[in-house]
Structure 1
Amino acid sequence: MMTDLDLLSIQEARNLLQKAKEAQKKLAELPQDQIDRIVECMALKAEKHASFLARMATEETGFGNETDKTTKNLFAAKEVYTAIKDMKTVGIISVDENKQVWEIVEPVGVIAGIIPSTNPTSTIIFKSLIAVKARNAIVFSPHPSALKCSLETAKIMANAAQEAGAPKEIIQCMEYPSLPGTKELMSHKLTDMILATGGPGMVKSAYSSGKPAYGVGPGNVPVYVHTSANLDQAAQHIIESKSFGYGTICASEQAVVVEREIKQAFIDKLKKYGAYLLSKTEKEKVESIILTGGTLNSKIVGKSPQAIGKMVGLSFPKDVKVLVGEEEKIGKDVPFAVEKLSPILALYTVDGWEEGCDVCTRLLEIGGLGHTFGIHCKDHAVINAFALKQPASRIIVNSGTTFGGIGATTAIFPSLTLGCGSYGNNITSDNIGAQHLMNVKRVAFGIREMNYAAKNEIVQSTEMTDFSGIEKKISMDQGGNFTISREEIAEIVKRILADMK
Structure 2
Amino acid sequence: MNQQIISAVVSEVLAKIKQENLGGSVAAPAVVSRPSKRMGVFDTAEAAAQAARKGQEQLRKKGIATRVEIINLVKSICTEKAEEWGKLEFAETKIGRLDHKIAKLTGIKDIPGIEWLNPYSLSGDNGIMMEEYAPFGVIAAITPVTHSVPTISGNIVSMVAAGNGVVFNAHPGGAGCAADAIAFFNQAIYNKTGIENLVTIIEKPSLDSFNDLCKSSYVDLMCVTGGPAVVNAAMQSGKRAICAGPGNPPVVVDETADLDHAARSIILGGGFDNNLLCIGEKQVFVVDSVHSQFMDAFKRAGAHFLPRENMKKLAGEVFTYKEDGGGCSHPVLNRDYVGADATKLAQVAGTSAPAGTEVLFGDCPGDCPFVEEEQMMPVIPVVRAKNVDEAIELAYQSEHGYRHSAIMHSKNLDNLTKMGQKMDCTLFVKNGASIAGLGMGGHGYANFSIATTTGEGIVTTQTFTRKRRCVMVDSLNIIR
What TM-score bracket applies, with the shorter chain setting the length? 0.7 to 0.9
Rounded to whole Å, the distance in 1 between the matches of 2:251 and 2:288 is: 15
Are 1:10 and 1:181, in contact at CA under 8 Å, matched by a contact in 2?
A: no
Aligned pairs, how many?
A: 423
User: What amino acid maps onto 1:133 in structure 2?
Assistant: A
Rounded to whole Å, the distance in 2 between the matches of 1:148 and 1:69 is: 16
1:239 paired to 2:267: yes
CA-CA distance at 1:286 after TM superposition: 0.8
Superposition map of 1:216-231 within 5 A: 216-231=244-259
1:130 paired to 2:162: no
* SS state at 2:47 partner: helix
Are 2:51 and 2:200, in contact at CA under 8 Å, matched by a contact in 1?
A: no
Rounded to whole Å, the distance in 1 between the matches of 2:350 and 2:291 is: 29
User: What amino acid maps onto 1:302 in structure 2?
Assistant: G
Superposition map of 1:353-364 within 5 A: 353-364=388-399
CA-CA distance at 1:12 after TM superposition: 1.0
* Corresponding position of 1:87: 116
Shift in alpha-carbon separation, 1:413–1:100, aligned structure 2, 3 A = farther
Rounded to whole Å, the distance in 1 between the matches of 2:256 and 2:292 is: 15
Superposition map of 1:336-347 within 5 A: 336-347=371-382
1:73 paired to 2:105: yes
Rounded to whole Å, the distance in 2 between the matches of 1:383 and 1:329 is: 22
Higher Cα radius of gyration: 1
Rounded to whole Å, the distance in 2 between the matches of 1:100 and 1:358 is: 51
1:382 paired to 2:408: no
CA-CA distance at 1:378 after TM superposition: 1.4
* Corresponding position of 2:7: none
Rounded to whole Å, the distance in 1 between the matches of 2:375 and 2:440 is: 22
CA-CA distance at 1:310 after TM superposition: 2.9
Are 1:102 and 1:442, in contact at CA under 8 Å, matched by a contact in 2?
A: yes
- 1:219-248 CA-to-partner distances (Å, cap 9, x unmatched) read 111111122211111111110111110010
Shift in alpha-carbon separation, 1:205–1:166, aligned structure 2, 3 A = farther
- 1:363-410 CA-to-partner distances (Å, cap 9, x unmatched) read 112xx5210010111111211111112131211111111x12333333
User: What amino acid maps onto 1:419 in structure 2?
Assistant: A
Are 1:330 and 1:362, in contact at CA under 8 Å, matched by a contact in 2?
A: no
Are 1:361 and 1:391, in contact at CA under 8 Å, matched by a contact in 2?
A: no
Rounded to whole Å, the distance in 2 between the matches of 1:356 and 1:444 is: 53
1:350 paired to 2:390: no
* Corresponding position of 1:453: none
Unpaired segments of 5 or more residues in structure 2?
Answer: 1-40, 323-330, 475-480
2:122 aligns with one of 92, 96, 100? 96
* SS state at 1:302 partner: coil
Unpaired segments of 5 or more residues in structure 1?
Answer: 1-8, 421-425, 448-501
Shift in alpha-carbon separation, 1:166–1:104, aligned structure 2, 3 A = farther
Rounded to whole Å, the distance in 1 between the matches of 2:471 and 2:412 is: 46
Rounded to whole Å, the distance in 1 between the matches of 2:129 and 2:375 is: 48
1:287 paired to 2:290: no
* Corresponding position of 1:423: none
- 1:16-62 CA-to-partner distances (Å, cap 9, x unmatched) read 11111111111112222222112111110111101111111111111
CA-CA distance at 1:445 after TM superposition: 5.6
* SS state at 1:410 partner: coil
- 1:81-117 CA-to-partner distances (Å, cap 9, x unmatched) read xx2253337xxx2322359320132210111111211
Are 1:372 and 1:392, in contact at CA under 8 Å, matched by a contact in 2?
A: yes
* Corresponding position of 1:399: 432
* SS state at 2:392 partner: helix
* Corresponding position of 2:468: 441
2:459 aligns with one of 412, 416, 432? 432
* Corresponding position of 1:47: 79
Shift in alpha-carbon separation, 1:355–1:166, aligned structure 2, 3 A = farther
Rounded to whole Å, the distance in 2 between the matches of 1:254 and 1:354 is: 19
Are 1:32 and 1:88, in contact at CA under 8 Å, matched by a contact in 2?
A: no
CA-CA distance at 1:446 after TM superposition: 6.3
User: What amino acid maps onto 2:382 in structure 1?
Assistant: L
CA-CA distance at 1:178 after TM superposition: 1.4
Rounded to whole Å, the distance in 1 between the matches of 2:56 and 2:423 is: 41
Shift in alpha-carbon separation, 1:325–1:106, aligned structure 2, 3 A = same
* Corresponding position of 2:61: 29
Q: Identity over aligned residues, as a percent?
A: 23
Per the normalisation by structure 2, the TM-score is: 0.84
Shift in alpha-carbon separation, 1:406–1:305, aligned structure 2, 3 A = same
User: What amino acid maps onto 1:438 in structure 2?
Assistant: T
User: What amino acid maps onto 2:115 in structure 1?
Assistant: D
1:328 paired to 2:365: yes
Rounded to whole Å, the distance in 2 between the matches of 1:429 and 1:270 is: 35
CA-CA distance at 1:314 after TM superposition: 2.7
Which portions of structure 1, spanning 4 or more consecutive aligned residues, are displaced by more than 6 angstroms?
Answer: none
Superposition map of 1:99-498 within 5 A: 100-165=128-193, 167-292=195-320, 293=322, 294-330=331-367, 334-365=369-400, 369-401=402-434, 403-420=435-452, 426-444=453-471
Shift in alpha-carbon separation, 1:166–1:434, aligned structure 2, 3 A = farther
- 1:96-139 CA-to-partner distances (Å, cap 9, x unmatched) read 23593201322101111112111101011101111111111111
CA-CA distance at 1:429 after TM superposition: 4.2
Shift in alpha-carbon separation, 1:265–1:115, aligned structure 2, 3 A = same
Are 2:370 and 2:381, in contact at CA under 8 Å, matched by a contact in 1?
A: no
- 1:285-333 CA-to-partner distances (Å, cap 9, x unmatched) read 11112322432110110000111233344322214221112222337xx
- 1:135-189 CA-to-partner distances (Å, cap 9, x unmatched) read 1111111122212211112122222322331510001111121111121022211
CA-CA distance at 1:350 after TM superposition: 1.4
* SS state at 1:373 partner: strand
CA RMSD of aligned residues (A): 2.0
Rounded to whole Å, the distance in 2 between the matches of 1:11 and 1:155 is: 13
